[in-house]
Structure 1
Amino acid sequence: MKIFKYLLFLLLIIVIAGSIYIATKDGEYHIQETRIIPAPVEVVFNEVNEYHNWQNWEPWSQEAEDMVFEYNEKTRGKDAGYSWKSEKIGDGRIKTLDVKPFSSIDQQISFDTQFGTSTSDIYWEFNKMEDSTKVTWGMKGTQSFMEKLAFSFQSETLSSMMRPMFTKGLENLENSVLKKMEKFTINIDGVIQHGGGYYMYTTTASKTSQVNQRVQKMIEDVKTYMEKNNIEISGKPFTLYNERDESAGTTIFSAGIFTPSQVITPNNSRILNGYLPKQKVLRASLKGDYKNLQEAWDTAFDYIEENSLELNEEEDIFEVYITGPKSSPNPANWVTQIHFPIK
């Protein structure tokens, strides 16, 4: 009987000692992963800021196919959120606490466990790096007594369990963003009458493959000249292809902006005034990155041949930039209209 009492007493000491050890054990955790994504900071930020996008890249739903999502009325910006239910990984919810556009997002995530609700702070940091974005995704918090007890009997720590998920999530995020940026559509709008008009322009020659890189700077030069000289802008910027040598891969082209009337420029001016006549054109529209312009040209040429149309060789093909990098950082949203003069 005494031995039994001693054993109970010893067991009580072990339990008390174990409890003290667990209670005094540091339960704070801080998990953080970083990835450089080759995309504009605005595009990456907007992908994370909208919860409807998360199913494209967050790693948990890939681990648990039974997840059912329910979105709050607000899914973007401060106070946005959503919740999920899953027998495999449990239920939970996430809410956005604070947003600083294009630089940081603070969130709170909660998991319903057998020990109660576990809550952690989530933070995102977005740093522009030339044409890329450095993304930092972190989670921090403090484990409860029961959570510390549970992890004491596991071979992995919370950090070692979550870090691979964060790494995979950032990899998925990059793939999702790049896939969206690659989207483009080409449409043949048909034969229309273009109104033409006066325009300010500057001209140069280059490799055809370098036109899109050079034309933006040229358009900015024309715009600056017009603003300094109080010349009214009356249309979208455009590129006029004065001469294309397909075999040599070279182009003489002009970057211009429409203006309502003729402008007399000094003899030594690099910026000149020209006139585009009214003419019948086949218009093709590209929604997407400029790197897909050649495919849009080829589609239009095929349409011209299939419909027995004839190009007017006396006039120049021109592209009008309806929206571009100044309007949207995401190239999938850029709209370019290509005009092919028709006899």
Structure 2
Amino acid sequence: MKALKIILYIVLALVVIVTAAIFMIPTEYKVERSTTINAPKKLVMQQAGRFENFAKWNPWGKLDPNMTTSITGTDGEVGAKYSWEGNDDVGKGSMEITAVTDSRVDEKLVFLTPYESEAATYLVFEEVDGATKVTWGMQGSNPRPMNLMVPMMDGFIGKDYEAGLAELKKMTEAIASSDTFRGLKVEKMELSPRTYIGRKDTVKWADMQGFMASSFGAAYGELTKKKAPMAGAPSSIYFVWDEANEQTVMAAAIPVEGEYTLKGFEAFPAGGSGYKIAYYGAYEGSGEAHYAMDDYFTAKGLEMTEDLMVIEEYITDPTTEPDTSKWLTNVYYIPR
């Protein structure tokens, strides 16, 4: 009987302690982890703040190789949504971007299984001594009596955040140190001083081939008559690329050595240090080279400005080489 009383007192004491804890422990929680990545902030934000990249470094993907995922909306922008469904370890839920600035991405996290809950997650980016500090955080609330879990949230979530940030750091620093993007190598190079002689106009995408053919032919014919010292293959120079109206402001021109003018044609001087991609393939696929160059600039912390001269140099004559995989186009990005 005495033993029973002791057990009863212990149980009552535990009830009192647990009840007190329920009302003493806060319902709100916040978990944060940070790491410093040796890469430009724009690149870190791209790798951390886009769901297509999040899928590569988040720590939960390894828990279920057969997990199904989907992305809706414009990735990286407000309204984009990442949804997943997997085994009991990962459950089912979604993340939706609710706000984006130049230093922060906010998301709404919703779990549907194994239990229903919501939380706010965020990524904060800060430039520090040439590197980028990224902070990954979560904040939310557990209603009583589930608030008893609040003191353990930091341990539960924190170790996963640490693992995820470590993978993000490894992945992003590898990209930042690379010179190959989309399978295309970017080279630093020196373009010899030259002048491009040709015609400049606003051209619809559908009319580009015809514009280039007539302009190249006219410029080449006149330059041949003048015995001009040519410095390369026929080239297109792009000044504006207007996707909304499917048109471009461009020049179709022939390069000649040094300074040069030709009556009836415009002259576009070029030369100096820049960047080059040697692209092999059909002309309609050359956009990959420009996307790769954009990725390179992001990875190296460079800016795409209006001062850049964007040039495509058509090395291979398609009339003598039927295999499009052998067509070489040199893509140059040269400061004006």
Give the TM-score range, shorter chain.
0.5 to 0.7
State the partner residue of 1:173: 168
Map residues 44-193 of structure 1 onto 2, 5 A cutoff: 44-86=44-86, 87-101=88-102, 103-112=103-112, 116-149=115-148, 157-181=152-176, 182=178, 183-184=180-181, 185=183
State the partner residue of 1:328: 297
Q: Distance in 1 between matches of 2:129 and 2:49?
A: 21
Q: Distance in 1 between matches of 2:77 and 2:18?
A: 44
Q: Distance in 1 between matches of 2:136 and 2:194?
A: 43
Q: Matched residue of 1:328: which SS?
A: helix
Offset of residue 137 of structure 1: 1.1
- Check the 8 A contact 1:319/1:336 in 2, yes or no: no
State the partner residue of 1:239: 191
Question: Residue 22 and residue 326 in structure 1: after superposition, are their counterparts in 2 closer, same or farther (change >3 A)?
Answer: closer
Question: Residue 130 and residue 257 in structure 1: after superposition, are their counterparts in 2 closer, same or farther (change >3 A)?
Answer: farther
Q: Distance in 2 between matches of 1:75 and 1:129?
A: 26
Question: Residue 171 and residue 6 in structure 1: after superposition, are their counterparts in 2 closer, same or farther (change >3 A)?
Answer: closer
Question: Residue 80 and residue 186 in structure 1: after superposition, are their counterparts in 2 closer, same or farther (change >3 A)?
Answer: closer
Residue deviations 1:138-185 (CA, integer Å, cap 9, x gap):
112222224334578xxxx11012112111111111222234442344
- Check the 8 A contact 1:66/1:88 in 2, yes or no: no
Q: Matched residue of 2:46: which SS?
A: helix
Further displaced range: 327-336 or 39-48? 327-336
Q: Matched residue of 2:116: which SS?
A: strand
Q: Distance in 1 between matches of 2:311 and 2:173?
A: 20
Offset of residue 17 of structure 1: 5.6
Residue deviations 1:270-312 (CA, integer Å, cap 9, x gap):
xxxxxx930457x9xxxxxxxxxxxxxxxxxxxxxxxxxxxxx
Q: Matched residue of 1:65: which SS?
A: coil
Q: Distance in 1 between matches of 2:295 and 2:140?
A: 40
Tell me how large the CA RMSD over aligned residues is.
Answer: 4.6
- Check the 8 A contact 1:320/1:336 in 2, yes or no: no
Question: Residue 113 and residue 321 in structure 1: after superposition, are their counterparts in 2 closer, same or farther (change >3 A)?
Answer: closer
Q: Distance in 2 between matches of 1:320 and 1:12?
A: 78
Q: Distance in 1 between matches of 2:168 and 2:25?
A: 35
Q: Matched residue of 1:159: which SS?
A: helix
Q: Distance in 1 between matches of 2:32 and 2:128?
A: 19
State the partner residue of 2:22: 22
Q: TM-score, normalised by structure 1?
A: 0.52
Q: Distance in 1 between matches of 2:194 and 2:299?
A: 23
Question: Residue 318 and residue 96 in structure 1: after superposition, are their counterparts in 2 closer, same or farther (change >3 A)?
Answer: closer
Give, as a single letter, the amino acid of the residue that structure 2 aligns with 1:92: G
State the partner residue of 1:224: none
Question: Residue 146 and residue 130 in structure 1: after superposition, are their counterparts in 2 closer, same or farther (change >3 A)?
Answer: same
Gaps of 5+ in 1: 188-210, 216-237, 241-255, 262-275, 284-316
Q: Distance in 2 between matches of 1:98 and 1:45?
A: 13
Question: Residue 320 and residue 9 in structure 1: after superposition, are their counterparts in 2 closer, same or farther (change >3 A)?
Answer: closer
Offset of residue 104 of structure 1: 0.8
- Check the 8 A contact 1:319/1:337 in 2, yes or no: no
Q: Distance in 2 between matches of 1:48 and 1:147?
A: 31
Q: Matched residue of 1:140: which SS?
A: strand
Gaps of 5+ in 2: 199-227, 236-270, 277-289, 305-309, 316-336
Identical counterparts, % of pairs: 21
Question: Residue 128 and residue 338 in structure 1: after superposition, are their counterparts in 2 closer, same or farther (change >3 A)?
Answer: farther
Q: Matched residue of 1:79: which SS?
A: coil
Question: Residue 338 and residue 180 in structure 1: after superposition, are their counterparts in 2 closer, same or farther (change >3 A)?
Answer: farther
1:277 aligns with 2:261: no
Map residues 256-335 of structure 1 onto 2, 5 A cutoff: 258=195, 277-279=229-231, 321=275, 328-331=297-300
Residue deviations 1:168-206 (CA, integer Å, cap 9, x gap):
11111122223444234458xxxxxxxxxxxxxxxxxxx
Give, as a single letter, the amino acid of the residue that structure 2 aligns with 1:27: T
Aligned length: 227
Q: Distance in 1 between matches of 2:295 and 2:13?
A: 71
1:43 aligns with 2:12: no
